Amino acid sequence: MTVSPRLQSLVSWDSDWAGLRVAVTGIGVSGFAAADTLIELGARVVVVDAATSDTAKAQADTLKIVGAVDVLLGEEAVNRIPKIDGRFPELIVTSPGWRPDQALLAAAARAHIPVWGDVELAWRLRVRAGHKTADWLTITGTNGKTTTVGLTASMLQAAGLKAIAVGNVGTPILDALRDSVEYDVFAVELSSFQLHWAESLSPVASVCLNVAEDHVDWHGSYNSYLADKAKVYARTQKACIFNAEQIETERMVEDADVVDGCRAVGFTTLTPAVSMLGVVEGLLVDRAFIEERKDSAAELASMTDLGQFAPRHTVANALAAAALVRAYGVDAKAVRQGIQDYVPGNHRIQPVAKENGVLWVNDSKATNPHAAAASLATFANVIWIAGGLSKGVSYDHLVRDHAARLKAVVLIGTDTTALADALQRHAPDVPVITTPAGDTENMQTAVTGGASTGSSPDSGAAVMSRAVASAAQLAASGDTVLMAPAAASMDQFSSYAHRGNAFIEAVRELVEGQAQTGEE
């Protein structure tokens, strides 16, 4: 697509944004930040979203106050390209969840109107006269992004740098750019959706942690998903970090068009070769960013620094974060301190309770088979609570590889067919209990406009309460009840956090009930 000279010239905050006609799709966190920023820059903005909820209306009212041309809500608003001052927009800035085949975006492609994501917009605005320009360290992967971004930011902060985790992790990059704090560096979490709409990023260092089948429904194919993930390495300046245990990420680096002098640095949970980070006798070590790397390694941290649970994928995430910050110039001492300072987020292999010898673990963040496999590999004798919105993936490898760990499976979700069939094929002797969906309505996000429909939170709570009760009947001392759904949450819950909190609350009620009845 040919880009107009004016759009090509928009490479800083101080470029001529005034009067630029921009349509912003989505009024959620990313869309609101994009619209608010563009209004501040003097652009002529219209925002569209299919949502008509009170939250969406409140966001719309706020944007109208600060000067948006218009905010259009409802299904009709997202089926055609909106006009601004009687003319089509010169640019569309889309929220990451909007699929390329969505009606408005597809129409924009036919009309040759450029589409940027919020991350692309942020990259073009990062330079501002009189303000410090933060460097970017970019992180993507099917799983582990949020943990790695958090670890990266923690290590940078331990080195005395002003750093913040931004992007898909929750804080929009545009908000960080407008923060009164002048940051030295951003640790940027990028989803495949955000990378799809990004074309200009040039990070100091970048990593794709891992890849596995995910979001095939959004991208159209696994190969398209891989292609978007690989964009994280484009134009990297100093170091492309790859997973030495997964050839796909190494090939991404080999194929990447990077800045001259950029290095390829691997990480592994095994003994590292030269130019890699890895593990030696319980220590995380660096054989890449030291002068003597041919015959020695620098100690960065120990496995015990990673806390109570140090499953293999957590070690890998820590090594990836360490590689990024080492490429940026952070010393080994700050790497260890950053690991020790880091507080893992909830819903990621989170111990909830241990009662009567049964360990209850919440890993609601395991929204695909690859993430669930990492959880299952951490425990033995598992009663597995699983199921949800599958996103078109296969469960055969997951069930086959971990069938021996399974004592029983409790299925949740409005459509458990794919997972149930995989269990029947590869674990036919494992008892499977299906939790009735009850009155839970579909809460899947309508990506055609970002609107969310669905039931009250109580319906999801009821589903989880029944699942926990079923698991409790099956569990005995020495077992682990693991809620690692291997699926998205939006069929029965509003988010993975809602699902995880429902599990925590159901376990709490179960434990309290057992205590009151004196059950042993």
Sheet architecture: strand order including 298-302: 163-167, 185-189, 135-140, 205-208, 239-243, 263-267, 276-280, 283-286, 298-302
- Domain borders along the chain are 18-113, 126-341, 350-515
pLDDT at site 456: 41
Query: Does 513 carry a binding-site annotation?
Result: no
pLDDT at site 343: 83
Give CA angle at 24 (20, 25), nearest 5°.
155
Alpha-carbon span 486 to 385, nearest angstrom:
9
pLDDT at site 56: 92
Which pTM does this prediction carry? 0.77
pLDDT at site 308: 65
**SS3 for 76?**
helix
**DSSP label of 414:** S
Nearest to 165 by CA among 192, 137, 143, 193: 137
Alpha-carbon span 507 to 516, nearest angstrom:
14
* CA atoms within 13 Å, Cβ hemisphere of 304: 1
Query: Does 144 carry a binding-site annotation?
Result: yes
pLDDT digits (tens, 9 = 90+) for 238-267: 999 999 999 999 999 999 999 999 999 999
Q: What tokens were used for 371?
A: 């993430």
pLDDT at site 122: 97
pLDDT digits (tens, 9 = 90+) for 315-365: 999 999 999 999 999 999 999 999 999 987 677 888 889 889 999 999 998
**SS3 for 148?**
helix
Alpha-carbon span 116 to 196, nearest angstrom:
9
DSSP secondary structure, 23-54, as one string: EEE--SHHHHHHHHHHHHTT-EEEEEES--SH
Which residue stretches of the chain have pLDDT < 50? 439-458, 520
Nearest to 48 by CA among 67, 23, 20, 22: 23
Domain 126-341 class, CATH top level: alpha beta
The architecture of the domain spanning 18-113 is 3-Layer(aba) Sandwich (3.40)
Give CA angle at 384 (379, 386), nearest 5°.
130
Query: Does 142 carry a binding-site annotation?
Result: yes
pLDDT at site 3: 80
Query: Does 271 carry a binding-site annotation?
Result: no
Query: Quick check: 242 and 249 in contact, CB under 8 A?
Result: yes
* Residue 321 parent element (H or E): helix 312-328
Cβ contacts of residue 220 below 8 Å, gap of 6+?
101
Nearest to 66 by CA among 24, 35, 88: 35
Alpha-carbon span 215 to 193, nearest angstrom:
9
Q: Does domain 350-515 have CATH number 3.90.190.20?
A: yes
Query: Does 146 carry a binding-site annotation?
Result: yes
Alpha-carbon span 249 to 251, nearest angstrom:
5
Query: Does 442 carry a binding-site annotation?
Result: no
Alpha-carbon span 242 to 323, nearest angstrom:
10
pLDDT at site 441: 39
Query: Does 143 carry a binding-site annotation?
Result: yes
